[in-house]
Amino acid sequence: MKFLSLTLITLAGVLTSAFALPNSSPNPGVSISQAGIDVNEVISSIKATERKRTPLYKFKLFCYDSKFDTWAVDGLQAISQVGKKAGSLKGKNIYDIAGKFCHENNGHQFHAKYESIRQRYFFKNTLPGFPLPFTPVSFRVLNYDKRPGRLDATLCTNMMVRLILTCIGPGRPSVLKKFRGGEVQHENGWTYNIICDEDYCQNYPWK
């Protein structure tokens, strides 16, 4: 297990003391994002598309289900954005956060070089033995193929929601209350990614 940074240990302590998880179970339904994107609509559209077997976009999708990915979170319980007030996202789920991230980065200009954008959010940890009660989860868009363009919030939300729905689908080891992340690449060359990218969230033998 990799050593934790002092910053994350401090943040975990603040979150633990400042935020009490609700005793009642959260509503498993998907709520509407306050960011201005109707996540319910996006989910319904994707599910309808899958039934018709006519994908909206060409993409490559990969779910993190390796034994070397040593993290999992409760997608129904977002806690706060890293660096923001503890409990500021109480009542929000991972779909809401995907919409929020995409909306806040709408119009971001990518250039013809490798670059990425990232925001991190704390979710409740659900993996026994994980060193923190909360896990910092990164929502990222990466320009691996060095293609210029502006980020579109609607497309971004579609890709993020499709990623979540696929990675918690039938036959997958990941479920929404034990979400493990993944990535999806659109035909425009950009990769949409949900991951805990701290060293202690992966245990690859070559590290």
Kindly state the average pLDDT of the residues 81-99.
89
* φ/ψ bin of 135: left (φ > 0), alpha (ψ from -120 to 50), beta (otherwise): beta
pLDDT digits (tens, 9 = 90+) for 108-158: 999 999 999 999 999 999 988 898 999 999 999 999 999 999 999 999 999
Q: Is the dihedral of CA 106, 107, 113, 115 positive or negative?
A: negative
The number of beta carbons lying within 10 Å of the beta carbon of residue 14 is 13
- Total count of domains within the chain: 1
Does some domain include residue 173? yes
At 174 the pLDDT is 86
* pLDDT for the residue 48: 57
| In a domain? residue 24 | no
- The pLDDT value given to residue 16: 44
Cβ–Cβ contacts within 10 Å for residue 58, how many? 9
Q: What is the pLDDT of residue 38?
A: 66
User: Regarding predicted confidence, which is higher, 137 or 202?
Assistant: 137
Whether 138 and 197 have beta carbons less than 8 Å apart is answered as yes
Instruction: Please give the residue range of the domain that contains residue 126.
Output: 30-201
- What is the DSSP code string of the chain? -PPPPHHHHHHHHHHHHH-PPPSSPPP-SPPPPTTS--HHHHHHHHHHHHHHT--SS-EEEEE---TTB---EEEEEEEEETTS-TTTTTT--HHHHHHHHHHHTTTPEE-SS--EEEEEEEEEE-STT-SSSEEEEEEEEE-TT---EE--HHHHHHHHHHHHHHHTSTT-S-BTTBB--EEEEETTS-EEEEE--SGGGB--TT-
The pLDDT assigned to 18 comes to 41
- In this structure, is residue 6 part of a structural domain? no
Q: How many CB atoms lie within 10 A of CB 72?
A: 24
What is the structure's pLDDT at 66? 83
Q: Answer whether residue 16 is part of any domain.
A: no
Tokens of 12: 């975990």
**160-198 pLDDT tens trace:** 999 999 999 877 888 999 999 999 999 889 999 999 999
Q: If you average pLDDT over every residue of the chain, what do you get?
A: 80
Contact 5, 202 (CB under 8 A): no
In which band, very low, low, confident or very high, does the pLDDT at 205 lie, cut at 50, 70 and 90? low
Report the share of the chain in percent with pLDDT over 70: 70
Higher per-residue confidence, 61 vs 56: 61
Q: Among 71, 74, 72, which Cα is nearest to 26's? A: 74
